[in-house]
A = this chain, B = another copy of it.
Amino acid sequence: MNDLSRLSLNQRTINRWSLREAIEGCARHSIPYIGIWRDKLAEQPIALTNQQLRDANLKVSSLCRGGFFSAPTPQARAASIEDNRRAIEDCAAINAPVLVLVCGPAHGQSLPDARATVRDAIAELAPYAQQHNIQLGIEPLHPMYAADRSVINTLQQANDLAEQFNTAVGVVLDVFHLWWDPEIHQQIQRAAPRILGFHVSDWLNPLPDILLGRGLMGDGIIDIPTLRHAVDTTNYTGPIEVEIFNQKLWDTDPNQALTNICNAYLTHV
């Protein structure tokens, strides 16, 4: 039996809501977790956000997003490290246990060099995360984002990376990015000690848009229950975060959208 006790709303899913509106929306729909984005977090004072979270009895599943390490110049890379330190501090300030890392594109580096840059950046940040009691969650992104968002594109890569570090570094699984991978089940088992998040949405067929074409669970072709079962067997019991970038959903009345999301979650996850 499914219920809403593990559901997290990644707030980008209801993009037009402010952070305050998203917190209130989760409370109205009895959603226990929220995934917060940094641009939304910046809308209001942290203390006010924490008060609103307490009032709504809402826990933060993750902060989105750190990363974008493989910047074009050493200066830009150093600035990215600094920005990620601020993100770690933000996590600590709102009790977000995980900073989700979208590791960044090659930016003119070769892919091996870009991937080494990512590793070096995580090595630099991991102790700072640990000092703040925050975990860094490497999220492998679908290979169609390799050119513009992340050179980490499979769970095997994310596992290879995360295993080089202690518990300050783990992986975040998103069915939209990983469903096609023939190695996915072995790699989920391998990730067991370090799964820091599980994201769900669906792959619409045909895909309406590279970036804003994700579907509501059940509307696409991903076998979500099988993937969820695989993640469940790792003993991951944390939040299951609904993260959907979809222009149609963004154009829907937010309360109706959230009702649809809860129903899709109960039926198709």
Closest Cβ–Cβ distance, residue A28 to chain B (whole Å) = 34
Interface residues of A (CB under 8 A from B): 105-106, 110-111, 115, 142-144, 146-148, 151, 153-154, 156-157, 179-182, 203, 205-207, 210, 220-221, 223, 226
A221 touches B143 (CB 8 A): no
**Known interface pairs A154-B182, A157-B182; A106-B221 also in contact (CB < 8 Å):** yes
Question: 8 smallest A-B Cβ distances: which pairs?
Answer: A146-B180, A147-B205, A144-B144, A143-B180, A143-B143, A147-B221, A157-B182, A147-B203
**Known interface pairs A106-B221, A110-B223, A221-B106; A182-B147 also in contact (CB < 8 Å):** no
Chain A interface mostly helix, strand, loop or mixed?
loop
- Once the chains are docked, how many angstroms separate the CA of A145 from the CA of B221? 12
**Known interface pairs A153-B180, A154-B182, A157-B182; A207-B111 also in contact (CB < 8 Å):** no
- Which residues of chain B are near A105, meaning CB under 8 Å? 205
- Which residues of chain B are near A153, meaning CB under 8 Å? 180-182
B143 touches A111 (CB 8 A): no
